[in-house]
């Protein structure tokens, strides 16, 4: 294939990536955007085969087939609650691939001038951090590792020594192009990735996943420079830029700075506190009583959270919505930016149950409506509706914008138990006189509510 055709098709693929990113910005266009991005990736891969005519083609095709089979199987079997873990693994694989490419290029002696060697060292550095950090975030979300911040005596000094060693190894690689220096750099930065994530806990973990997603994009862009591949630079820059913006938006939604999120545990600022259940008295009710409260309301706002995803209760939630709307009740959904375990988690979950997109309202849009709402139905959420964000300066979520469900005339919580949310702090709204709790699995509770509303 000629260089002109190669450049033209790379441009087509790059445009596909840009339109895909635009499509993914809205639930209504996300499916099309995903398909456009996949088409762009397919074009890029085919162009590489046609233009480069790689050696060991059979082994490459075998690797693609094995990876494709694993990816297809994982995509079909992964539960919606485990989607953040899969994203973390994808980030890690992307970082590892970039770091390995840079190491192989250095070993083959294809990197010569200072600028090229410096970028090679940077690719190894950021790729290794992404890999080890992503694996650890996967372990935290999968509960293979405690979700609490992990600190040990002298950790700050170990981290500082590792940073110093990383800088020294990076300079060694950039100046001399030594493979041994690159291997040392990889080992140090693998440790640095672990040290970056270990002190992070609670609701901060999803934000770190977003940051590592940005890192994976930067790794791809840097490896594109190492390989002199413009398309990799474009694709990596898109992922890196969007991941960085998303991280900033999530940090703002938490009401905290990224520095505080990453290093706050050293000063006791993590969002993970106690996991002990409270024994304070609350007002609870059965499905029939809650159904009466909902069935004779004029306006209901649902605030979904991770508990909805854990129970796989999105279809039961849609059934309840349909029954309430049959009675002429206005039902909308309040979506907090960090509800669930990743941005858009609730949007995707409810879209899976065919809840219309126009019923999903972002926090800034829905908050003024709570004052005219008869019932706020909180399903599996806690931290994103916790008034401690406004009233408790010592709270780890203090300053975080929340869904203002406390302004509704009545509040109903669907909870499995009195265990605190992911941030590990009590929610005083649970003990408010206008709050009613319906205990049980969210799916079972919603199914009982549907039956009870039908019987009214």
Active site residues: 383
Concatenating the DSSP letter of every residue in 66-82 gives: HHHHHHHHHHHH--GGG
- Cβ atoms of 342 and 87 within 8 Å: the answer is yes
Helix, strand, or coil (residue 361): strand
Query: With 0-12 CB in 10 A as exposed, 13-18 as middle and 19+ as buried, what is 227?
Result: middle
List alpha helices for 53-146, DSSP H. Answer: 57-77, 83-107, 114-141
- Cβ atoms of 422 and 399 within 8 Å: the answer is no
Rounded Cα distance, 137 and 341, in Å: 12
Of the chain, the end-to-end C-alpha distance in Å amounts to 71
Rounded Cα distance, 215 and 209, in Å: 10
Query: With 0-12 CB in 10 A as exposed, 13-18 as middle and 19+ as buried, what is 288?
Result: middle
Residues 6+ apart with CB under 8 A from 26: none
Instruction: Identify which of 77, 27, 79, 84 has the alpha carbon closest to the alpha carbon of residue 422.
Output: 84
Residues in the chain: 456
Sign of CA dihedral 418, 424, 430, 436: negative
Helix, strand, or coil (residue 439): strand
- Cβ atoms of 429 and 386 within 8 Å: the answer is yes
Rounded Cα distance, 26 and 351, in Å: 12
Residue for token pair 């890999």? 131
Rounded Cα distance, 65 and 49, in Å: 15
Instruction: Extract the tokens encoding 138.
Output: 């996967």
Beta bridge partners of 187: none
Instruction: Extract the tokens encoding 155.
Output: 């950790």
Beta bridge partners of 379: 304, 414
């Amino acid at each position: 294939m000629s260089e002109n055709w190669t450049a033209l098709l790379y441009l087509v693929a790059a445009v596909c990536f840009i339109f895909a990113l635009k499509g993914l910005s809205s639930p209504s266009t996300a499916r099309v955007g995903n398909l456009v991005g996949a088409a762009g990736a397919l074009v890029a891969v085919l162009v590489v085969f046609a233009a480069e005519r790689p050696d060991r083609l059979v082994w490459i095709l075998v690797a693609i087939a094995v990876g494709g089979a694993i990816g297809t199987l994982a995509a079909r079997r992964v539960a919606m609650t485990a989607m953040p873990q899969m994203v973390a693994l994808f980030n890690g694989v992307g970082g590892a691939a970039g770091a390995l490419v840079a190491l192989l290029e250095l070993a083959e002696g294809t990197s010569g001038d200072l600028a090229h060697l410096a970028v090679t060292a940077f690719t190894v550095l950021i790729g290794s951090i992404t890999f080890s950090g992503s694996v650890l975030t996967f372990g935290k979300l999968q509960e293979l590792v405690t979700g609490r911040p992990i600190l040990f005596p002298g950790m700050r000094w170990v981290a500082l020594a590792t940073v110093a060693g990383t800088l020294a190894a990076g300079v060694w690689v950039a100046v001399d192009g030594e493979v041994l220096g690159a291997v040392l750099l990889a080992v140090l930065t693998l440790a640095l990735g672990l040290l970056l994530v270990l002190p992070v806990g609670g609701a901060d973990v999803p934000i770190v996943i977003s940051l590592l997603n940005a890192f994976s994009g930067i790794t791809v862009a840097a490896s594109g420079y190492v390989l002199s591949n413009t398309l990799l630079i474009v694709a990596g820059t898109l992922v890196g830029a969007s991941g960085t913006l998303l991280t900033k938006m999530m940090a703002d939604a938490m009401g905290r700075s990224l520095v505080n999120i990453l290093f706050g545990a050293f000063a006791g600022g993590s969002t993970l506190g106690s996991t002990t259940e409270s024994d304070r008295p609350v007002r609870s009710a059965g499905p029939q009583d809650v159904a009466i409260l909902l069935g004779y309301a004029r306006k209901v706002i649902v605030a979904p959270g991770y508990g909805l995803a854990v129970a796989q209760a999105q279809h039961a939630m849609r059934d309840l919505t349909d029954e309430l709307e049959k009675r002429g009740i206005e039902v909308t959904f309040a979506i907090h930016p960090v509800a669930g375990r990743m941005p858009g988690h609730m949007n995707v979950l409810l879209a899976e149950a065919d809840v219309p997109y126009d019923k999903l309202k972002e926090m800034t849009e829905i908050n003024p409506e709570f004052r005219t709402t008869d019932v706020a139905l909180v399903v599996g959420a806690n931290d994103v509706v916790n008034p401690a964000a406004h009233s408790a300066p010592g709270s780890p979520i203090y300053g975080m914008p929340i869904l203002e469900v406390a302004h509704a005339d009545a509040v109903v919580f669907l909870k499995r138990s009195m265990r605190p949310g992911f941030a590990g702090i009590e929610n005083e709204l649970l003990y408010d006189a206008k709050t009613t709790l319906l205990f049980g699995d969210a799916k079972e509770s919603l199914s009982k509510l549907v039956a009870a509303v039908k019987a009214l």
